[in-house]
Amino acid sequence: MSQYTNYIGKPTNRVDGPAKVTGAAKYAAEFNVPNLAYGVVVSSPIAKGKIIKVYSKPVLKIPGVLAVFSHENVPNLAWFDRNYKDDVAPGGSPFRPLHDNEVKFSQQPIALVVADTFEVARYAASILEIEYEEEDHETDIELKRTEGFMPGRGKSGWMPPPPPRGKPDKEWKKAAHRIEHEYIHGAQHHNPMEMFATTTEYHPDGSITAYDKTQGVYNAQQYISKIFGLSKKQARVVTEYMGGGFGSGLRPQYQLFMSVMAALELKRSVRVTLTRQQMFSFGHRPYTLQYVKLGTNPDGTLAALQHHALHETSRFEEYTENVVNWSGMLYQCDNVKLGYQLAELDVYTPLDMRAPGAATGSIALEIAMDEMAFEAGLDPVDFRIRNYAETDQNMKKPFSSKRLRDCYHQGAAKFGWEKRNPRPRSMRDGNMLVGWGMAGGVWDATQKKSAAKATLTADGRLEVSSATSDIGTGTYTIMTQIAAQYLGLPIEAVTFKLGDTDLPEAPLEGGSWTAASVGTAVKNVCEEMGKKLLKQAQKMKGSPLKKAKFDDVEFVNGQIRLRLDPDQAVVIRDVLQASGKEKLEAETSATPNMLKQMQHSMHSHNAVFAEVKVDEDLGTVHVTRVVNAVAAGRILNLKTARSQVLGSIVWGISMALMEETIMDHKFGRYMNHNYAEYHIPVNADVRDLQVLFVEEEDEVVNPLGVKGIGEIGLLGVAAAIANAVFHATGKRVRTLPVMIDKLL
Amino acid sequence: MNPFTYSHATAVDDAVRDKASHHDAAYIGGGTNLLDLMKENVERPTHLIGLNRLPLTKIQNDPEGGLRLGALATNADTAWHPEVEKRYPLLSQAILAGASPQLRNMATNGGNLMQRTRCYYFYDTATPCNKREPGSGCSAIGGYNRIHAILGTSQSCIATHPSDMCIALAALEAVVRVSGPNGERTIEFADFHRLPGNAPHIDNTLRPGELITGLDLPAKGFEKNYSYLKLRDRTSYAFALVSVAAALELEGNTIKDARIALGGVAHKPWRDTDVEDALKGQPATADTFRKAATQLLQGARGFGSNDFKVELAKRAIVRALKQATEMKQGPTEAFLNSNP
Amino acid sequence: MSTSSTTKRGVMGAPAAPPPTSTVTLNINGVDTRLQLAPWTSLLDALREYADLTGTKKGCDHGQCGACTVLVNGKRVNSCLTLAVMQEGNEITTIEGLGTQEKLHPLQQAFIDHDAFQCGYCTPGQICSAVGLINEGKAHTEDEIRELMSGNLCRCGAYVGILNAVKEVVDSRSNEVKR
């Protein structure tokens, strides 16, 4: 008999699928609680200056308008910066909504108008008169090239670049082949489909439930608790479904503050939803200038590698991400210099956006590697394999596992790379130039402390819970699979709950660590539950498991049975019924095994192969084929994992060809702040995309052997496409995205 | 969005009367552009006159051998109408290159002519714009103007007309039928939209209160040799950087008649009849097309970020004329090929 | 060095009273639903905020994303760019009217089977759009489906799954499919 409850790894339909396809899944702005008021945010038209006056009076006379909140009348709140710091706040002084009369960036929230209906609030907000004193602003990083500084205080997870090793300058000058180029990409905004919203339900006892759009309910809870002086009991935060995050929901956004503030002041439930334009008012992937110098020895090994990055941050926080560090570990090179600087501008603080830092750094490094291979007359895959890093030279540690070589080989084979004519402009399809390019990437495998709870009821149903998130990543599904497998229950009998501060604490969903972290907690709690079940089973009359130790039994197909004699089994449902208990409960947490992990460098890897077709006369590029080979440890669900990587490829196409937020420096304002002019791919932009998972075992990263899949798929995609464009046309575009005007 | 009242019009006369009796009234057909702009506080009518109960949805043959398109027929119904597909495939192709299926199901033919520009600054009330607020200045000149005009610009405005459908209508020399307080009249398509000059807030030559009731397509549809080529920043659901409606009448390889209309380059669909006349009698070759393209773009100038449009437009004209000559695609799949 | 100037923003004239509401009857999923609405309420807001049908999503409120797609008389439209008062007398179908979790519409099942979504926020709009696409009968090939599903953005990038899900249902309804 097959072990049908072995769910891990199987392509499994999303357990939240039926709720999502029927519209039953409720997102933050969809909790229509009674007596709800609506808040609309008024944003600053200027980039820098002072608010002289907010003329609230005329607006307050409009029937239905309940309040106008601004710095002029915001209630007394927490005073210290630390109260406004969230778990992932960078160094500096966090932005406080409605705090004072300072305008620090364009589209800064200046006021909140609350009314009985959304339409009245929107209208009143549109006519609220505000007087400003404008000051000169600086938003152009091109003018700050010489004013970069090394950040003093990063945020959690940020590592300053390692010190230089070897003689990077000298060896570069001596190298047989050399390249040095600058690479640039502009700002990008996360733009999840769901606009940020919070529905704050006000309860008669003064407590609140905030239905918020956040990637971490605990982070949001501690933020509002500290600001508004609420106890954790008084401030529950719920995010059952989230319409996309990509990092935008890591930090509590200002609609949470606004909604909670208004609800507490008005003692009434209040919903605040941002507009799509306001989705461009907080956090973005920073505009980044990068400079790469590479040199090779006659045998094609890297003689020297230098990678420097300068990106924007705000005046009030030092946003940091790991842009260049990857370049010191992805390839073997003994002469390396990495540099990283920030420049302050009058913009909002940038914000982690899918594969923060790595997505940016890999564009420069991997286009440069392609240029270097071309210069040295080497095949790009061959060149990378010649420089394969067997250890992490940054950390001087072995990798816990690294199957990148297999990514290169398997990806190349699936793509048909051996048929590539290395000469640019040599391949054609009718009138179109065809280009084949490749690139690769690396991302962290991280585990964070997480807790989970399990309840098994007499009807044989298991509920497991943890306050993690599912931002579309598949958390609901993989946790259900893990729980079902570890307790040997049919998947239909298992429910996983998340996104609620009433549940055990879990970290923010980000950094690709959720599967590893929460997954291990779920495994642990199910093992706890298993032990309790075994104890009860042993109490049963004539139990065949009487003398069994926990390691002697397995939980399979709804039974507990002896591993060595599977016929000796009891049915799990019967155990509970025999015990006379209505339910069994277990709660535990999982922490990383630091002893083991400290000795290793833990990463996922990928290799991407892309085909483009370029209409040279018209400058149009279509990505016709992509193969993305990923080594990310154990894959928990082939279906949802594949979707994550497919989505990453679409993101890569977007970064390579169309996505960019345009700032008009005269106004210090992003101008294409809508979905019509901020282009992300549509269905017609996406053709043949293939995902390949390279088998990889890893006993160090966590007991499940998973490395996470949310970011790694994005790495290398944009560079592979840019490299393919060069192969097709002979034109090297170093300022992404590659748009029509750059190819004419 | 400001407060407004709403009334359903049931007859054209009622609609026109209703409009005349309100100070800040606007007609609303599909609403796809007007409501968008009202939510941005760019348009602020205090009364809306709903048109979708007016009997103006028919598409029918007219006595002169042409086709009359009701002003309230949707873009989708027009594009997929058998007579349009058969006799005016250029129009089908252009319509289907625009917007999205959902928007084409809502947007009306009359409304398509009334679309306002996609200029970032026009849409953002935080910035000056002469079209939105006459006299406040043009932010696009000296600003970010990648999507802006290169032909027929003025010192007060470099916005473009955003429609695809209208580019084909210009090439086909449609006639706009309107009804107003002083009765009915017709407007040649070339005269319908205007250049910005020093009054960029005025997009067209409609007189106050006038309502578009229909479009007349002349008998000549160029159904044998045509192409609508649209170049944009993604494959679909994006406004044109440059588009070309090309239509040829060929005798063997000799051009008997030609029409070239450009989109994305000016405040109105751009045509130059001198260039079209010069094509007559010429062989349909790349050389001929290149000459025409150069001539058409003679007066063009960029404003910085849109400099590339001058060259792009030339190449697009050559390609569109080539496609029109060769006609490798059938009309039904033609819309897929509007992106080469 | 800093220069400054004062500027007043938001000046849009004297405040006016909100428009009065009236009873608007919308036929939603086969049920005549009476709502008290002012003219300025969009069909989308009427559904989400007044009729408590939150399956229809607001992704941009400007007709640029397709998340709000519903069917009006069987045709797909963006419910954010039409007023509720304009839709009296029409048959409106939302995602809630297509199927239930117990009895899914074939497209809903196909979207699950092909993992044609991740966060799920664009999904109701995608599915309603696909129903409209099938009603139109113009999309047969993969290219045609891609093009005619391009009015619905998906930031998660689930387009491969969406194509395959729609194609499966299109194919099952037509024997003359060409690739």
Q: What is the 3-state secondary structure (H, E, C) of A599-668?
A: CCECEEEEEEEEEEEEECCCCEEEEEEEEEEEECECCCEHHHHHHHHHHHHHHHHHHHHCCCECEECCCC
Statement to judge: residues C85 and C112 lie in one domain: no
Decide if A631 is inside a domain. yes
pLDDT digits (tens, 9 = 90+) for C28-81: 999 999 999 999 999 999 999 999 999 999 999 999 999 999 999 999 999 999
Nearest CB among B48, B50, B106 relative to C77 is that of: B106
CB contacts, 8 Å: B28 with chain C: 83, 86
Which chain A residue lies closest to B311 (C-alpha atoms)? A744
Q: Which of A245, A275, A305 is the last residue of a domain?
A: A275
ipTM here: 0.98
Higher-scoring residue by pLDDT: B331, B290: B290
Q: What is the CATH number of the domain that holds C113?
A: 1.10.150.120
Which runs of consecutive H residues, i.e. helices, occur in A78-208? 118-127, 168-174
Determine whether the interchain pair C136/B80 forms a contact, defined as Cβ–Cβ distance below 8 Å: yes
Q: How confident is the model at residue A77 (pLDDT cuts 50, 70, 90)?
A: confident
Per-residue pLDDT at C176 exceeds 80: no
Statement to judge: residues A706 and A649 lie in one domain: yes
Determine whether the interchain pair C81/B5 forms a contact, defined as Cβ–Cβ distance below 8 Å: no
Statement to judge: residues C29 and C82 lie in one domain: yes
Burial class (CB in 10 A: 0-12, 13-18, 19+), A307: buried
Statement to judge: residues C92 and C152 lie in one domain: no
DSSP structure string for A227-269? HHT--GGGEEEE-S--S--TTTTSSPPHHHHHHHHHHHHHTS-
Statement to judge: residues A480 and A530 lie in one domain: yes
Per-residue pLDDT at A411 exceeds 80: yes
Nearest CB among A106, A127, A617 relative to B319 is that of: A617
Statement to judge: residues A502 and A491 lie in one domain: yes
Decide if C54 is inside a domain. yes
The Cα A660–Cα A188 span in angstroms is: 5
Decide if A4 is inside a domain. no
Q: Which of residues 91-110 of B touch C (CB under 8 A)?
A: 99-103, 105-106
Q: Considering only B47-51, B256-260, C7-11, which range has the smallest mean pLDDT?
A: C7-11
* Overall number of domains in chain A: 3
Statement to judge: residues A175 and A71 lie in one domain: no
Per-residue pLDDT at C12 exceeds 70: no
Decide if C15 is inside a domain. no
Q: Which of the other chains make 3 or more beta carbon contacts under 8 angstroms with chain B?
A: A, C
User: Given the DSSP bridges, would you call strands A553-556 and A494-497 parallel, antiparallel or unpaired?
Assistant: unpaired
CB contacts, 8 Å: C94 with chain B: none
Per-residue pLDDT at A495 exceeds 70: yes
What are the distances in angstroms from CA A494 to CA A3, A437, A505?
Answer: 17, 45, 20
Statement to judge: residues A74 and A175 lie in one domain: no
Range of the domain at A483: 17-23+448-591
Determine whether the interchain pair C69/B102 forms a contact, defined as Cβ–Cβ distance below 8 Å: yes
Decide if C31 is inside a domain. yes
When pLDDT is averaged across residues A628-638 and rounded to a whole number, the result is 98
Boundaries of every domain in chain B:
5-52, 226-338
Statement to judge: residues C30 and C83 lie in one domain: yes
CB contacts, 8 Å: A615 with chain B: 340
Q: Is B63 on the interface with C (CB under 8 A)?
A: no
Statement to judge: residues C90 and C122 lie in one domain: no
pLDDT at position C2 is: 41
Per-residue pLDDT at C5 exceeds 90: no
| A30 counts as catalytic | no
Determine whether the interchain pair C76/B101 forms a contact, defined as Cβ–Cβ distance below 8 Å: yes
Q: Which of A543, A567, A591 is the last residue of a domain?
A: A591
CB–CB contacts below 8 A, B to C: 99
For residues A452 and A416, the answer to whether their CB atoms sit within 8 Å is no
Determine whether the interchain pair A45/B236 forms a contact, defined as Cβ–Cβ distance below 8 Å: no
User: Given the DSSP bridges, would you call strands B67-70 and B211-217 parallel, antiparallel or unpaired?
Assistant: antiparallel
What is the CATH superfamily name and number for domain B226-338?
CO dehydrogenase flavoprotein, C-terminal domain (3.30.390.50)
Q: Nearest C-alpha of chain B: how many angstroms from A667?
A: 8
pLDDT digits (tens, 9 = 90+) for A412-464: 999 999 999 999 999 999 989 999 999 999 999 999 999 999 999 999 999 99
Decide if A12 is inside a domain. no
Q: Which of A275, A302, A331 is the last residue of a domain?
A: A275
Determine whether the interchain pair A617/B315 forms a contact, defined as Cβ–Cβ distance below 8 Å: yes
When pLDDT is averaged across residues A635-647 and rounded to a whole number, the result is 98
CB contacts, 8 Å: C99 with chain A: 21-22
Which runs of consecutive H residues, i.e. helices, occur in B150-237? 165-172, 189-192
Statement to judge: residues C85 and C145 lie in one domain: no
Q: How confident is the model at residue C175 (pLDDT cuts 50, 70, 90)?
A: low
Determine whether the interchain pair A618/B234 forms a contact, defined as Cβ–Cβ distance below 8 Å: no
Statement to judge: residues A585 and A614 lie in one domain: no
Statement to judge: residues A315 and A417 lie in one domain: yes
pLDDT at position A157 is: 82
Per-residue pLDDT at C10 exceeds 70: no
Q: What is the CATH number of the domain that holds A669?
A: 3.30.365.10
pLDDT at position C4 is: 53
What average pLDDT does the structure give for chain C? 93
Statement to judge: residues A83 and A215 lie in one domain: yes
Statement to judge: residues A452 and A442 lie in one domain: no
Q: Which of C62, C96, C130 is the last residue of a domain?
A: C96
For residues A343 and A326, the answer to whether their CB atoms sit within 8 Å is no
Decide if A3 is inside a domain. no
Q: How confident is the model at residue C177 (pLDDT cuts 50, 70, 90)?
A: very low
Q: Nearest C-alpha of chain B: how many angstroms from A618?
A: 7
Statement to judge: residues C85 and C120 lie in one domain: no
Q: Which of C96, C116, C145 is the last residue of a domain?
A: C96
* Overall number of domains in chain C: 2
Range of the domain at C158: 106-172
CB contacts, 8 Å: C129 with chain B: 101-102
Determine whether the interchain pair A126/B2 forms a contact, defined as Cβ–Cβ distance below 8 Å: yes
pLDDT at position C6 is: 72
Decide if C131 is inside a domain. yes
Q: How confident is the model at residue C1 (pLDDT cuts 50, 70, 90)?
A: very low
Statement to judge: residues A65 and A199 lie in one domain: yes
CB contacts, 8 Å: C133 with chain B: 101
When pLDDT is averaged across residues A285-314 and rounded to a whole number, the result is 98
Statement to judge: residues C74 and C31 lie in one domain: yes
Decide if C75 is inside a domain. yes
Nearest CB among B1, B124, B239 relative to A123 is that of: B1
The Cα B211–Cα A222 span in angstroms is: 58
Nearest CB among B120, B318, B339 relative to A672 is that of: B120
Q: How confident is the model at residue C11 (pLDDT cuts 50, 70, 90)?
A: low
Decide if C3 is inside a domain. no
pLDDT digits (tens, 9 = 90+) for B68-113: 999 999 999 999 999 999 999 999 999 999 999 999 999 999 999 9
Statement to judge: residues A575 and A477 lie in one domain: yes
Q: How confident is the model at residue C178 (pLDDT cuts 50, 70, 90)?
A: very low
pLDDT at position A78 is: 85
Cβ-based neighbour number of residue B24 at 10 Å: 11
When pLDDT is averaged across residues C102-130 and rounded to a whole number, the result is 98
Decide if A6 is inside a domain. no
Decide if A10 is inside a domain. no
Give bridge partners of residue A338 from the DSSP assignment.
Answer: A307
Decide if C113 is inside a domain. yes
Statement to judge: residues A47 and A119 lie in one domain: yes
Q: Which of residues 22-41 of B touch C (CB under 8 A)?
A: 28, 30-32, 35-36, 39-41
Q: Which of C115, C129, C141 best tests the A interface by mutation, with the highest count of A CBs <10 A?
A: C115
Q: Which of residues 5-24 of C touch B (CB under 8 A)?
A: 9, 12, 16-19
CB contacts, 8 Å: B236 with chain A: 682-685
> Residue C114: which region, alpha, beta or left (left: phi > 0; alpha: psi -120 to 50)?
alpha
Is residue B36 within a helix (H) or strand (E), and if so which, with residue range? helix B34-39
Of A230, A218, A279, give the one whose Cα is nearest residue A254. Answer: A279
Statement to judge: residues C60 and C85 lie in one domain: yes
pLDDT at position A197 is: 98
Q: Which of the other chains make 3 or more beta carbon contacts under 8 angstroms with chain C?
A: A, B
DSSP structure string for A318-353? E----SSGGGGTSB--SSEEEEEEEEE-SSPPP---
Q: Which fold has domain B5-52?
A: 3.30.43
Nearest CB among A45, A657, A676 relative to B126 is that of: A45
Statement to judge: residues C79 and C136 lie in one domain: no
Q: Which of C49, C76, C96 is the last residue of a domain?
A: C96
When pLDDT is averaged across residues B194-219 and rounded to a whole number, the result is 98
When pLDDT is averaged across residues A571-581 and rounded to a whole number, the result is 93
pLDDT digits (tens, 9 = 90+) for A139-195: 999 999 999 999 987 777 889 999 999 999 999 999 999 999 999 999 999 999 999
Per-residue pLDDT at B331 exceeds 90: no
Q: How confident is the model at residue A396 (pLDDT cuts 50, 70, 90)?
A: very high
CB contacts, 8 Å: B318 with chain A: 617
pLDDT at position A3 is: 82
For residues C174 and C140, the answer to whether their CB atoms sit within 8 Å is yes
Of A677, A107, A661, give the one whose Cα is nearest residue A347. Answer: A107
Per-residue pLDDT at A666 exceeds 90: yes
pLDDT at position B338 is: 59
pLDDT digits (tens, 9 = 90+) for A18-68: 999 999 999 999 999 999 999 999 999 999 999 999 999 999 999 999 999
pLDDT at position C14 is: 78
What are the distances in angstroms from CA A680 to CA A178, A563, B48, B231, C157?
Answer: 35, 52, 34, 16, 9
